[in-house]
Amino acid sequence: MKQIVIIALLFISLSATAQEERHNFYVTGKDKGFHFSSFAVKAQAWLHDVTAKKFHFLSVSSDEEAVQKIKRILDKHHAKIGSIWFDSHGLYKQGYSSLHIGNNEFSYKNITDSSTIQYLQQLSAYCDEYTSVGIGSCYGGATFTFPGNGIAPPGRMNGDSLMIGIGKIFSNSHIYASQSWVMNKPGIFGNNFAFAGYPWGKKYKQAVWTPVWGYLGKWKKYNNSTQKMEDINTVALDKKGNINIRMRDYLELEKAQRKRARQVKKLESVIVTTTIDTSHA
């Protein structure tokens, strides 16, 4: 009888933890100039801040500012973090995975440095096993080899190291990151493929982007408590700002398969042309 009571109390305790008041956050940096795509994304997030309960859109200049604002909201409501999405640009030309919060950059180079992560660590008290953390930067979880360019030499992207570092900060939470692009299409809170990634710019047709096309729509999930790194389907945000995993992989869609096949074919022709030009140089 005593054992049954203990198990019942434990179940009640776990249920209470899961049902604690939780708030979701969409955190983005402040743009130095006007960018239509960035403006469109921020407009969507701002509208959700106005209409959705327990959802907050924050535009910040630094990780310190972000943490201060988040803590102020959570302390006011005596709440924890449900999902937090760090909207960020990934700088492919630098040759490694990164996450930017305002002017602060995080990567495998500094994610274990105590002085660099001192503000992010303050959020760990508001997170638990029911918290999801989204690294919303292109190539944030990339593990492929960067081909090299005029700025950076060939080398591993080390997105998994970034994820593991973030996982150690939020020790029981789930960390999500993309191996390819995180393109913000209309309806990013529609629990759809808005973050699957499919760029249209001419520069993405260059051969240096070949490995990124190879991982289109591919995401990873990491949890430090289990130290398990998983390959997962495309990640999405729902109307409340919760991070979800799609039931289908993006490349299961025939339309996506056709688009990528056409693009890869173009890349192959670029690679052949480059090889011919180089041999005659």
Q: 74: which 2 tokens?
A: 């959570």
Give the integer Cα–Cα distance in Å for 188 and 234.
13
Give the integer Cα–Cα distance in Å for 255 and 258.
5
Give the range with max mean pLDDT: 128-137, 199-208, 261-270: 128-137
For residues 126, 128, 130, 133, the Cα torsion angle rounded to the nearest 10 degrees is 70
pLDDT tens-digit readout, 108-153: 999 999 999 999 999 999 999 999 999 999 999 999 999 999 899 9
Give the integer Cα–Cα distance in Å for 205 and 181.
14
Classified as helix, coil or strand, 178 is strand
Average pLDDT, the chain: 86
Domain segments of the chain: what residues? 20-250
How, if at all, do strands 104-106 and 132-136 pair?
unpaired
pLDDT tens-digit readout, 126-138: 999 999 999 999 9
251 CB contacts (<8 Å, ≥6 apart)? 216, 217, 257, 260
Question: Could you tell me if 123 and 95 are in contact, meaning their C-beta atoms sit under 8 angstroms apart?
Answer: no
Does residue 261 or residue 158 have the better pLDDT? 158
Question: Could you tell me if 234 and 191 are in contact, meaning their C-beta atoms sit under 8 angstroms apart?
Answer: no
Given a cut of 70, whether residue 40 has pLDDT beyond it is yes
For residues 106, 223, 174, 120, the Cα torsion angle rounded to the nearest 10 degrees is -40
Give the mean model confidence (pLDDT) for residues 46-51.
80
Given a cut of 60, whether residue 208 has pLDDT beyond it is yes
Share of the chain above pLDDT 90, in %: 62
Residue 33: per-residue pLDDT: 67
Residue 272: per-residue pLDDT: 40
Give the integer Cα–Cα distance in Å for 154 and 188.
33
